[in-house]
Every structure is written in structure tokens, then in C-alpha cells.
Amino acid sequence: MLVLADAVAADLLVSGPLTLVDADGRREVPALIVKDGRIAYAGPVAPEDAGLERLDAPGAFVMPGLVDAHVHLSLAPGGAFVDRTPEEIRARRAHHLRAYVASGVAAVLDAGILPEDAAQIEELVTEGPAPVVRMLGPLVSPPGGYVHEVLPVFPATPDATALAAQVDAFARFDPIGIKVTMEDGMLTNIWPLHDPTVLEAVNALDQPVFVHAMEPREYRYALDHLDVHAFVHPLEHPKRDVVERLAGIPVVTTLSAFDHLLTTAEPERLDDPLIRLVAPADEIEAATDRETIRASYRFVARTLMPHMFPPARAVARAAMSQKAFVASKVRSFQKAVVALHESGVELVLGSDSGNWPVLLTELHGPTTIREVELLLEAGLPFDDVLAMSTVRGARLLGLEEDFGMLADGR
């Protein structure tokens, strides 16, 4: 696989033969000419191009850069267990942006970020190397609910007045939409959903609404009260009445949100050459440190099962960390995305990289590649997964004129 990132500054002649692969199919060309980070020409080499800087890559496959429609650039894997200075935080975020480029990711959608962090990410993207970054904001969360209870740095949205202030604070980042959380609990029902009056105020904003939901009840509540533009997680248990309402509404895949937890039982995953190349060494080390792993699971159990009697919570925590439990959860979501796909729902690749800083292995960059693998392992056709990973994501992010396909000028 040949990866041409925007780190290529000079005009470049890539000589083949090359196989171009995108959502329109496969085709062979003798060569490519890349100018200003875009394909200027695909075909035989003209005499006037012979003097260009040359990269010989016979037999290489060339595909569009991946588009990851669900990441969290301000959140570092295992960051909850590390004290970093502001300078170290900035450097780590720059590292993560480079990791996306090195992993062949051309564009990402940050699905939950605070204004002060968004400003820093914008600076880092300008400095490069980095993928193109689009953002959702603000993140609209009910008082006492998700996401405010899990990440208290994100303010709750109790009413329309608070919503208006949060929207104004985020407007300078030109978000492609706002994100509304619709989550009553990941293991038990512990969190309230939004008051309908807040959702009415969201609809009145006339902005695309991206919804966090994973269960039929949450999907139904969102569809009943919001003009949903997209769901940022798949429905784990697809019900016919819900699926029938998803026509024209993209659903982001995020299979990695559970799959990454298998790394504890399968630490050899961390020996992957790409991970060793692009992931920070201390993130890899933390992912195999037994005490950090125990601290992570304790924190997760305490947050997701706050009312459970401690001995019972310890039993549940032990079960939650077992490979069989996690693997069954991954299989359940894989079956769900296949069912959604077969029902005609438009799936878009997203990894949820970064996710929650008490989690250790949603590594920025490689997790996007893992998401592609999980979709293929689920049994989805290659051509469809390629479309989910490129052109569909580009369309969702409003980048379809520049990304997602291989063509002159793109």
C-alpha cells in the first residue's frame, strides 16, 4: 500500500504500474503525478514530467486517504493516569495528529471537544503534519447524565439558555453540527435522557444534529424529539421499527469502542508494526501495565455502576474484563452493523479513538485501521467497507469535493 500524505511538499512523479482503488472500482495506470498534495494526472509519463522528483513504486496499490468520522483529539489513551504539563499535552496532541497521517488517515471528525482544546487543535493542524479536522460542537449533555457524569469537564446543558451560550462559544470553529448525547447507561440504566424542551431548542438552532445513542430506546427517543442528521454509534440491537426510520440517516460504526478492550487479553496486538511506529511509547507501556489496567477497570466500574454494592461491583468488574464478555460484545455489534447494512442503512467508518482517558488502548491512528479490519471481519464486502472508509465519510464531513475518491485535482 502506497501512502501519499500531505507531507509530500514537492511535485512528485510516482511510477508504476499502479493499481488505483476507490469506491468506483480498480484501474491500473502507468504513473501518477502529485502536485500540491493532489493528484494532477494519472496515465503515461509525458516527456516534460521526466524531471520531476521520482518515486518508483511498481505494483503498489493507491487508495484515497481514510476518513474517520468519530475521534476525540483532545483525549489521550490512559491520560487520566498521567500528569502532563500544558506543553506536554500540546506535544502529545501533535504526536497523535501525525499518527493519523502516518496511518493513512486524511480527515477526521472530532465528535466531542471543549472550545479551548479545539483552539489548540486548530493551531496544531496549521503547523502540521495533520489530517483535515472537522468538529462537532457543542456537546449537549443533560444534567446528571452522559457525558457530563463521565467527563465532568464537559458542562451540562440544563436549558435553552445554557444551550445558546454553549453554541455561541463554539461557533468560531465552524462546526459541521452539534452533538447530543442520548445515553441512559452502558451497563445499567443510571442516567436521565434530555428534557424535551432542551431538544426543542436544539431543533430550533437549524444545525445538523449528530446523536450519541446505542440502544433502541435511545434511538427512538432521539428520532421522536430531534431532526437527526446522523448517529455517531451503531444500534447494538436493531429493531425493525427503528431501522425503518433510519432511511437517509448515516450511522457511524465505532466497533473499536469495545474491540480495543481485548488488548488486555491479547497484548500481542501491541506488537503490530504500525502501532510500534506511531503510538507513543508510554501509551504502549501503560496498556500492558497490570496496575494501570486494574485502575482503569476500577474507574470504569465505579462510573458505570455507581449504585451497586461494592462486592457485587467487584464481581461485575471482573466479568467485564474477561475476554469472553468483551468478544461477545464485539460480535454483537458486528452482527448489528451487518444487519443495518443489509437493511440499507448508510454506514460510515468511525473508530471513537481517544474516547475516554481512563481507557488505555483506543490509540490515535492505528485504531482507525483496526476499525476497517473489524468491518471486514464482520463479513461486509470489501467495496462497501472501502466506501464507508472514504467517500461516505468525506460526504458526512462536507469534504466530498476534495476527499474520498481518486481523480485529477483530488
Q: Which of 215, 204, 212 has its CA nearest to residue 182?
A: 212
Q: What is the pLDDT of residues 121-164, one digit of tens each?
A: 999 999 999 999 999 999 999 999 999 889 999 999 999 999 99
- State which of 46, 62, 78 marks the end of a domain: 62
Query: Which residues, at least 6 apart from 158, have a Cβ–Cβ distance to it below 8 Å?
Result: 142, 143, 198
Query: Which residues, at least 6 apart from 264, have a Cβ–Cβ distance to it below 8 Å?
Result: 287, 293, 321, 361
- The predicted pLDDT at position 305 comes to 75
C-alpha cell at 148: 457530563
Q: Is pLDDT above 60 for 216? A: yes
Kindly state whether residues 240 and 188 are assigned to the same domain.
Answer: yes
Q: Is residue 171 one of the residues assigned to a domain? A: yes
Residue 328 CA: distances (Å) to CA of 42, 175, 217, 232, 321: 45, 36, 21, 21, 12
Kindly state whether residues 254 and 114 are assigned to the same domain.
Answer: yes
Q: Domain containing 109: what range? A: 66-262+321-396
Q: What is the pLDDT of residues 200-213, one digit of tens each?
A: 999 999 899 999 99
Q: Is residue 364 one of the residues assigned to a domain? A: yes
Residue 353 CA: distances (Å) to CA of 17, 78, 260, 345: 35, 12, 10, 23
Kindly state whether residues 18 and 136 are assigned to the same domain.
Answer: no
Instruction: Report whether 131 contacts 396 (CB < 8 A).
Output: no
In the predicted model, what is the mean pLDDT of residues 99-127?
A: 98
Please report, for the domain that includes residue 42, its CATH number.
2.30.40.10
Q: Is residue 279 one of the residues assigned to a domain? A: no
Kindly state whether residues 17 and 96 are assigned to the same domain.
Answer: no
Q: Is pLDDT above 50 for 6? A: no
Backbone angles phi, psi at 409, to 5 degrees: 85, 5
In the predicted model, what is the mean pLDDT of residues 169-195?
A: 89
Q: Is residue 199 one of the residues assigned to a domain? A: yes
Dihedral sign for Cα 222, 227, 231, 234, please. Answer: positive
Kindly state whether residues 38 and 132 are assigned to the same domain.
Answer: no
Instruction: Report whether 233 contacts 213 (CB < 8 A).
Output: yes
Q: Is pLDDT above 60 for 270? A: yes
Kindly state whether residues 216 and 340 are assigned to the same domain.
Answer: yes
- State which of 62, 81, 100 marks the end of a domain: 62
Q: Is residue 272 one of the residues assigned to a domain? A: no
Kindly state whether residues 40 and 100 are assigned to the same domain.
Answer: no
Q: Which of 359, 334, 362, 299 has its CA nearest to residue 70?
A: 362
Q: What is the DSSP letter of 267?
A: G
- Count up the domains in the chain and report the number: 2
- The predicted pLDDT at position 187 comes to 64
In the predicted model, what is the mean pLDDT of residues 175-189?
A: 87
Q: Is residue 313 one of the residues assigned to a domain? A: no
Helix (H, G, I), strand (E, B) or coil at 45: coil
Name the E strands within 150-227. 177-181, 209-212
Mean pLDDT of the chain: 93
End-to-end CA distance of the chain: 18
Kindly state whether residues 42 and 129 are assigned to the same domain.
Answer: no
- The predicted pLDDT at position 46 comes to 86
Kindly state whether residues 116 and 135 are assigned to the same domain.
Answer: yes
Task: Classify residue 248 by burial, with Cβ atoms within 10 Å: 0-12, 13-18, 19+.
Answer: exposed
Higher pLDDT, 348 or 2: 348
- The predicted pLDDT at position 306 comes to 72
Q: Is pLDDT above 90 for 320? A: no
d(CA 106, CA 390) in angstroms, rounded, equals 9
Backbone angles phi, psi at 106, to 5 degrees: -90, -30
* Largest Cα–Cα separation, the chain: 77
d(CA 410, CA 401) in angstroms, rounded, equals 8
Kindly state whether residues 105 and 21 are assigned to the same domain.
Answer: no
Q: Is pLDDT above 60 for 316? A: yes
Kindly state whether residues 43 and 102 are assigned to the same domain.
Answer: no
pLDDT band at 7 (very low <50, low <70, confident <90, very high): very low
Q: pTM of this prediction?
A: 0.94
Q: What is the pLDDT of residues 58-91, one digit of tens each?
A: 999 999 999 999 999 999 999 999 999 999 999 9
Kindly state whether residues 194 and 249 are assigned to the same domain.
Answer: yes
